[in-house]
Structures are given as C-alpha cells and as structure tokens.
Chains A and B, each alone.
Chain A
Amino acid sequence: MNKATDTQQLAYIAGQAADARVNLEIETEGMTLNIGPQHPATHGTLRIIVKLDGEQVIAAEPMMGYMHRGYEKLTEVRTYPQVTALINRIDWLGSFANEVPFIQAAENLMEVEAPPRAQWIRTALFEMSRIANVVLFLGDMGVQLGAVTPVFFAFRDREFILNQIEAVTGGRFHPNFNRIGGLKDDLPKGWIEETRGVLGRIQNFCDEIETLVAGNEIFQARTRGIGIIPADMGLAYGLSGANIRSSGVDWDIRRDGGIGLVHNELDWKVWTHPDGDSYARFWVRLQEVRESCIMIEQILDGIPAGPVMAKVPRIIKVPAGESYVETENPLGVMGYYIVSQGDLTPFRVKIRSASFNNVSITPWLLKGVYVPDVVSILASLYFILGDIDR
C-alpha cells in the first residue's frame, strides 16, 4: 500500500474516531450536508450526501439518477440512424464523439467500412468535440475555485470551435452527422483554411489558461496534493481518460486500440502525469487540448480525396450479432455494446459512459478532505451529468 492510500486510511480512521467522539461524548451528531441535487458545484443534478465533522468530510455518497432519461431502453424502439440523434445528448458538450463508437459498432455488424476521407473527417470532428468539451473544463475549474474570469475566456474561444463544427454538421451541440458507412456530407468550401486560424486561437487560449490559472499560486495551493488517486486505486474503480492518465497510467485507446479512426497515422503524444492530484488532472487535460490542435492540423494537411459515404442499403437492417466498440472520448472511455437480432432496431444497447465510473470513486476519494476541497476534487474529476445518468 502506498503513501496516499495510507493517508486516506488514516483520515478515515480519524473520521470514524471523530464521529464516535462527537456522538458519544458530547451527545450530538455530526452535520449531514446535502450537496445537490440543485447546487452550483455539481454541473447539473448530482447529489452528494456528505457527513461532516466541522469542515472535514467523514463520509460522502454520490446519489445518481436525478437526470436518468432511459436512453438504453429508448434505443430499442428507434432505428439505427435515429439512435445517433438520441445519444448526442449523453455527453452534451462533446456530442460528436458520442456518435462515433455507436456508429462503428453498427458498421462492424454490417461489415461495411467508412471510406478513408470519411474516417479522416470523423477524426477531425472527434478531436474538435474534445476541444469544445475540455476547453470549458479548463475555464470551469477556475470558477469552482472562485476565479470567475477564466470561464468567460473559455466560452469566448469555444465559440470558434463550435462555429467550425456547425459549418460542417449544421449543429452546434448536437451534430447528428455520422451515418452508418460514412458521413452525411463533405466539408464545406474554405473550411480547412478557417479551421487553421481557429486552432491558433485555441493554442493561444491554452497559453492564456496556463499562465492565468495553472500558474497561479493560489490555484496550485488549492489543487496540488489534493484528491490524490493512486494508479492502482484508479484502475480498480475503472477510471479512464485524463483521470487515469494523470495518475501515471499510460493508456489511451486512440493510440492503443483505435479502430476506424486515423489517430495511428498522426504524430502525437499521450500525456501523463505522475502525481494523480487535482492539479495533474487539470494539467493533463490542458496538454490534451494542445495535442488535439496538433492532430487536427495534421489531419487538415492530410485529408485524402474520395467519397464520404460507403455503399449501404437504403433501409438499414443490421445483421444478427453482438459488437462492442469503445473510443477515447473527451471524458474518458465510452463504449457501446450492441446486440442485434437482424431488425431495424437494436435488440439491446449497453452504454458504457466514462463519467459514471469516474464519479464512483468519490466515496473513497472524499473521505477526510475539507469541504472546499470537495468542490475542487469534483471539478477536477470532470463529469457531465448526462454522461452519468444516461
């Protein structure tokens, strides 16, 4: 057992002792505080019940399901092309990335492959949705720690990325652009040049955030050494994405297992951080936005010519079978397990979304921390409520 786990254990024992002391000797109870369902720190309707001894958290329990919309069941009464409109709403900040694993799983079952141009454009939009998503996190982390200004910079610069996504797909938040066997349309004229300018802006934004937020002494004092997730603990709870990479685990599906997307043909780097604290999670995400910019630039240079749609029947019936595809989405690993019985609609769809697993570590992680750190740790884990409650 390493040092961080020891501290957590000690804090837990101290918490139990404090609880016993409070309950028996003074004959009062520790305070139970309901953070949520409506609370500024929870990005929606997550409810966390914390037991407090003064300002210290003795126990924390996340309650999910306030936003459950039954997407897994709803997919069973929708045809495959209709399902993409639904699953756009899971991680609503990086919608395009939600569609990709589902479409790929369906393509696997139908044994069609998207043409190269479609795959390259898909990868570009995939990474753009990552930028749109994570840029907001970089600003929001400041808000959770009390600095109101960075989030406005984030909203300002995210708009340019959303404009580029809208130019291609017609939708800012819910593109619904993937089709089984390719994409709905080709890129509009002049888009590639425009996008280069936007990427420059995003790089500037990253530099700005690095000095304004990550370089700030108070920010570092609030995040360094706070909410440490050791690698083994993170893996045991099934964390993924930047949350596990910031604990030093070098694991990225884009590099290690990607099918259908062209990440392996690009020159880029997977960033990890050895610390595993809140600051590491912030830092890794910051680097990932930069890395995404680098990737998109290479994609813009290398998009091959050709069609964007493979030959598929007009009415899509997916042959019977099972398929599971997962991709490295902005929030972590997202996977769809599709069971088909040869109908117009899936028989069963299981959605593995990243935030659900990322949040499941909170009871362990929040033990023994102070109330202000609850907020900063939750912010650094970066979940989106739609991604927790499908």
Chain B
Amino acid sequence: MTLILAEMAYWQETSIRLLVGLAAVLLPAGTLVYLFLFKMMSFMQSRLGPMEAGPYGSMQLLAEVGKFLQKEDLVPRAADRIVFKLAPFVVLISTFLLVLVIPAGPDLWFIDVDTGIFLALAVSSISVIGILMAGWASASKYSLMGALRATGQLIAYELPLVLAVVGVVIQAGTLNVQNIVMAQATGEIFGYGGIGNPFIFTQFVGFAIFLIAVQAELTQPPFDMPVAESELVTGYLTEYSGLRFLMFFIGEFATAGIFSALAATLFLGGWYVPGLDPTDGLFNVIGPAVLFAKMLLVAFLIFWFRFTYPRFREDQLQKLAWKVLIPLSLINIVITGVLKVVF
C-alpha cells in the first residue's frame, strides 16, 4: 500500500486509508456475525438460522442493521447524557486503533512502528473506559454491576494477554508486528525451513493463554459475567438501544475479528503461506485473503467455546487469571528465554 500511496496527494492517501480501515473493521465483524453467530451457532443447536433474507440468509445482516437504525435512541431520564452518548464511541475507537498495526502483506500496513504489538495491547484497554462510562452513565443498577464486573475482568485478563505475547516477542526478537511475521516466514524448524516456523509450534502454551485471555477481553462465554443475560439482563448494555447498541455490538465482533487476526499474525504466520518467498509482491495481493482465512480459523475456536461453555462466577474467573494463567505465562516466558539462549 505504501508504494501506491507514495505518489498520491495527502487527501487521497488519507481517504483511502480511511476506507480501507473501515473495511478492515466492518468486514471481519460482518463475517463473524453471519458465519458464526447466525450460522454456526444455529447448526450447533439443530436449527437453520436465518434463511429468508437472501440466499441462505446472507442478507440478514443488512436487515439487522436496518432494524437497529430505525429504533429510537433511548436515553434514561436519570442518565448522564453526555457520557452515556459518548461511551459507544470510546469503545469503537479502541477497536479502530487495534487494526492499525496488523500487516496484511509485505507492503500492506497502516502504520509500521517498531513497538507495534505494544501499541496494540495498549490501545485494546481503552475499551474498559468506554464500558465503565456506559455502566456508570446509564443510572441503572444492572448496568453499574455489569460495568464494574467488566472492569475487574478486563484488567485481570490484560496481564496474561500481554505475558502470552512476550514469549513470541522473545522468540522473534522484535516488537514490530511485520518483523514478527517475517521471523516466522524465514524461520527454520531444526534446520528445515520448508514451512517457516509458525510460533504456534513453540509457543502453544502462549497461544492457549492468548486465546483464553482474548475470550475474557471480549466478555464472551465462558467469561461473559459482565453481560450475563440471565442475571444482569445485559449488563452495561441494558439501557442502550438503536444505533448506540449497534455500535457496541459491532465493537464486540470487530474486536473479536481483530484479536483473531492478531493471534493469527503472532502464532500462525500472519499473511504468509509456506513455500513462497515472503518478499514476493504476490503477497500484497493474496496476503489479505490468507490473513482473513487464518483469522476465521482462530475465530472459529473462539466462537466454538462461546456457544458451548457455561459461564464462570466472578471470583472463579479472577482465580483463573491470577492463580493459573499468569503463573503459567511467566513460566512460559522463563522457558522461552532459556531456550532462546541455548539455541
């Protein structure tokens, strides 16, 4: 992208970046909602899911968006109006910032910073502020409890998320996401370089911890205590309707897609396909598709858990983070560090 953009005026460049960024957020979100929430969930539960709108219900998404747009934008009388209306934007901002660092080809990225993965993990926690704003401003007890649960949970699971990535960073020797992909593409497994060296083979513990932590960051079952619909109605979302609810919804699924893409980039080799030269310009064309396919693979795992498991209680959830995942990821870091020195 940088090659093409070099000859363009600033406004052209910016608008292209804006459109691609919008597509990079909305496309995974739409795909995940249709493919997993509508269809996979239905098949798991012996139903068909939406079938009427378009072939196999593929236009159902448009119908849903249309439905949400038509709904009244309700604000509770006791709500803190400005904060209440601002909260969904704050959540969406963190989603849009996350997508910046993920490369989709050797020359395809939004920003190429040396501390890319650090930036991604840092901006991902902005959503906590949005959720807390939503819960507090709603002036509803259910919302408040949901928001407080969400805050505790997101902060607790931020740590294993970061620590799981540290293993990858040690092995790749860089924080730059593009270089992490390159390290996987050009790596060798015991001298055999045929398929590169996807870090999932060495960092499988990190991968598992990363997926669990992502699941918790997305507040999906089994970690959906903040939105537990059988206790708190829908937690911090309770008072939202119409477009603002839709923004939370898009935020949730777009973040699921982007975290899946991040997991695919860090552990499955990102846009790279084994057997080809990673500096080949071909990857600028097929790279996005490869990354998308790998993202769907990871997202499948995430949603599989989502539709199968019951939810943890708040204290059990915290115990899992502090007593199991964090020590485990620390051990993983130590072992990775030792092996890095040895080999």
Contacts and interface: CB of A to CB of B under 8 A. Distances in A.
Interface stretch (A33-41, A114-122, A165-173, A324-332): A33-41
A149 B308 contact: yes
Given A31-B141, A33-B141, A152-B47, A221 B312 contact: yes
A156 interface: yes
B309 A372 contact: no
A366 interface: no
Given A146-B228, A371-B145, A371-B231, A218 B307 contact: no
Query: Main SS of chain B's interface residues?
Result: loop
B145 A218 contact: no
Contacts of A218: 222, 309-312, 316
A41 B228 CA distance: 11
B230 interface: yes
Nearest to A140: B230
Chain B CB count within 10 A is highest, among A41, A147, A156, A218, for A218
Contacts of B228: 146, 372, 375
A55 B230 contact: no
Contacts, number: 79
Number of chain A interface residues as a range: 20 to 34
A146 B221 contact: yes
B231 A55 contact: no
A80 B314 CA distance: 52
Contacts of A153: 45-46
Chain A CB count within 10 A is highest, among B47, B228, B233, for B228
Given A31-B141, A146-B221, A370 B45 contact: no
A219 interface: yes
A374 interface: yes
B45 A143 contact: no
Interface in A350-390: 370-375
B222 to A, nearest CB: 5
B224 interface: yes
Nearest to B308: A149
B141 A147 contact: no
B237 interface: no
B141 A41 contact: no
A138 to B, nearest CB: 13
Given A41-B231, A146-B309, A147-B310, A221 B316 contact: yes
Interface string A133-174: 000000000111111110011001000000000000000000
A222 B314 CA distance: 11
A39 B314 contact: no
Interface in A248-286: none
A149 B230 CA distance: 14
21 contacts: A31-B141, A39-B233, A40-B233, A146-B228, A146-B230, A146-B310, A147-B221, A147-B310, A147-B311, A148-B221, A149-B307, A152-B45, A153-B45, A216-B309, A218-B310, A218-B311, A222-B310, A222-B311, A222-B313, A370-B315, A373-B313
Interface of B: 41, 44-47, 141-142, 145, 221-222, 224-225, 228-231, 233, 307-316
Interface of A: 31, 33, 39-41, 55, 142-149, 152-153, 156, 212-213, 216, 218-219, 221-222, 370-375
Given A147-B309, A153-B45, 19 more contacts: A31-B141, A33-B142, A40-B230, A40-B233, A55-B314, A146-B224, A146-B310, A147-B221, A148-B221, A148-B307, A149-B308, A212-B308, A219-B310, A222-B311, A222-B313, A370-B313, A371-B145, A372-B311, A373-B313
